[in-house]
Structure 1
């Protein structure tokens, strides 16, 4: 019997909140059941287990982040779009460290193809069209940008830049300036 008030959406949202509090790797159905003050079996009407819960949180986070990024880049192009997109990722990571980690969960190909991850890739490629990149360079650039955005956000959230000068915001802006310059002058031949 499904417990009154529990829905799959509520369970996933609570799991996302839990991820932000304790870290995505610590999210389990057992811990979530404790938060709801229910037996673990009560949650199995909504999720199949901890891995299913983590996958659903990842999908939730990808959707939430895609919506935020889309709003940020609407009506922007070139460097302005790049900065808005990057800031959306960084801000999301600061506000939701567990969800941000969830958004990087490796999904099976079928789930990934149906996820908001596809929207992220399309938005990144739309930004890159302003830099005149063609394949395979566009794919290389998508990977570069994702690595920088997620990497910087992860390091910053973990406190990696809090004890040294210059300020992390200054470094962030310098990095975005460097990425813009790199994308405008992308090498046309592969490195040896």
Structure 2
């Protein structure tokens, strides 16, 4: 019989909190069982294995991040929307490094299709509508924005900008200014 209070959803949330504390790579079924004060077999009626647990944490993080992005984008367009979306990713990564790492976890095609990943793409495309990009340029721009956002954040979290001036906040702001200028002047084929 399943222990009262344990559900796949609760375990995903507890796993996400554990990821923020220890790092996503350190989250295992055993570590989660210790956190929840139960024996490992108690969790196996809710998660199949560590891979399933990590997938559930990734789905939780993607959903949480999509909700934050949707709220930040409401009523915004153009550069204002671009900056709002970028700041959501950066702030989330800084506040929840384990969850952010989980949001980058490779999902199976089935899990990816059922995830909030498509919402992230739709929101990014909504931001790009303010720049009048058509396909395939819009897809190229989605990939560019993802690369810049995630690349900058990954380097920053790893301490890559902590030992030099100017402050990384200034570099972030300048990078977003540059992206806005590029998107407004997207090169023709």
TM-score (norm 2): 0.97
TM-score (norm 1): 0.96
1:2-17 paired onto structure 2 within 5 Å: 2-17=2-17
* Residue-by-residue CA offset, 1:65-107 (whole Å, 9 max, x unaligned): 0000010110000000000000000000000011111111111
1:150 and 1:20 map into 2 onto residues whose CA distance is 17
Q: Which residue of 1 aligns with 2:152?
A: 152
1:151 and 1:19 map into 2 onto residues whose CA distance is 20
Deviation at 1:23, TM superposition (A): 1.2
Q: Which residue of 2 aligns with 1:78?
A: 78
Q: Which residue of 2 aligns with 1:182?
A: 182
1:129 and 1:149 map into 2 onto residues whose CA distance is 18
* Residue-by-residue CA offset, 1:109-159 (whole Å, 9 max, x unaligned): 222112100000000001101111111111111011111111111211222
- Does 2:107 align with 1:107? yes
Deviation at 1:45, TM superposition (A): 1.2
Deviation at 1:48, TM superposition (A): 0.7
* Residue-by-residue CA offset, 1:29-62 (whole Å, 9 max, x unaligned): 0111111221111001111110000000000000
1:143 and 1:63 map into 2 onto residues whose CA distance is 20
Deviation at 1:9, TM superposition (A): 1.6
1:85 and 1:10 map into 2 onto residues whose CA distance is 28
Deviation at 1:5, TM superposition (A): 2.3
1:99 and 1:151 map into 2 onto residues whose CA distance is 16
Q: Which residue of 2 aligns with 1:92?
A: 92
Q: Which residue of 2 aligns with 1:38?
A: 38
1:113 and 1:5 map into 2 onto residues whose CA distance is 28
Q: Which residue of 1 aligns with 2:162?
A: 162
> Is there any run of 5+ residues in structure 2 with no aligned partner, and where?
none
